[in-house]
C-alpha cells in the first residue's frame, strides 16, 4: 500500500483489517505524498488520491476493499 503520511491512521486501520481477514498476510506500506493506493501484485485494488481528511475509512469502504482482494485471489490456498 502507498499512503500519504497524513493518512497513516487510515493505513493502519486498513492494514489491520486486511491482516485480520487474511491470516498470514503482512501488509507493507510505503509513504508516498498524495497517495492512498492498495494493490495486489500488479492489480490496483483501490485508489483514492489524495485521501480526504484522515478521519479513518468507513466500514463500507473497508468491506469493498476486502471483497476486491478476495476477488483478486487473496486468501485462496
Would 10 be classed as within a structural domain?
yes
According to DSSP, the β-strands at 30-31 and 36-40 are: unpaired
Evaluate whether residue 77 is within a structural domain: no
Residue 76 lies in a domain: no
21 lies in which domain range? 2-71
User: How many whole angstroms separate alpha carbon 22 and alpha carbon 73?
Assistant: 11
For the whole model, what pTM was predicted? 0.88
47: in domain? yes
Residue 1: what pLDDT? 95
Q: Per-10-residue mean pLDDT for the chain, 77 residues long?
A: 91 96 95 92 86 75 96 86
Question: How many domains does the chain contain in total?
Answer: 1
Q: Cell digits for 28?
A: 507493507
Considering the domain boundaries, does residue 61 fall inside one?
yes
Query: Do 31 and 3 meet the contact criterion of CB atoms below 8 Å apart?
Result: yes
Task: Let me know: does 73 contact 45? Beta carbons within 8 Å.
Answer: no
Amino acid at each position: 500500500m502507498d499512503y500519504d503520511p497524513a493518512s497513516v491512521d487510515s493505513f493502519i486501520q486498513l492494514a489491520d483489517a486486511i491482516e485480520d481477514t487474511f491470516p498470514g498476510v503482512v501488509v507493507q506500506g510505503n509513504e508516498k505524498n498524495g497517495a492512498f493506493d492498495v494493490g495486489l501484485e500488479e492489480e490496483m485494488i483501490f485508489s483514492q488520491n489524495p485521501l480526504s481528511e484522515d478521519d479513518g475509512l468507513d466500514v463500507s469502504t473497508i468491506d469493498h476493499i476486502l471483497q476486491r482482494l478476495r476477488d483478486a485471489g487473496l486468501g485462496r490456498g
